[in-house]
Amino acid sequence: MSLKKVFIAFTLFFSILGFSSATLAKEVKKSVPEVLKEVDAKIQAALDAIPSADSAKVASLIKEVAENASELSANYKFEFERDKVVLKMKKARELAKKSDFAGAEQELKEAREGFAGLTKFQ
């Protein structure tokens, strides 16, 4: 095999490695209203779980809400306001871990209002 053929073979090999199926996959993005509906449903699930007084369950549900909220993205102002609401979720989670369910419920309600208010920043 000549040096030219070896060079071509290595070039093709490395170019095929760089062209993976991940580059062909489309990133599926949900619209902001869809994500807001999901976030609202998960907040309601967390609020419904508060009477059970299971701090681990409530904290995990709140964590799911915060993770789902991270999918929200529109513009700088929107993300700034979203981050402020996510901080309320974090505080609610900390309160739930401490079994302060009244405080966690209040923070969740404020976060729900905050997420509902995000639509005006789109």
Convert the pLDDT of each residue in 44-67 to its tens digit.
Answer: 888 887 787 777 788 888 788 888
What confidence score (pLDDT) does residue 47 get?
Answer: 80
Residue bearing tokens 């419904």: 48
Contact 92, 107 (CB under 8 A): yes
What is the overall mean pLDDT for the chain? 78
pLDDT above 50 for 26:
no
Answer yes or no: are the C-beta atoms of 121 and 74 closer than 8 Å.
Answer: yes
Q: Which long-range contacts (C-beta less than 8 Å, at least 24 apart) are formed by 57-60?
A: 58/96, 58/101, 58/104, 59/93, 59/96, 59/97
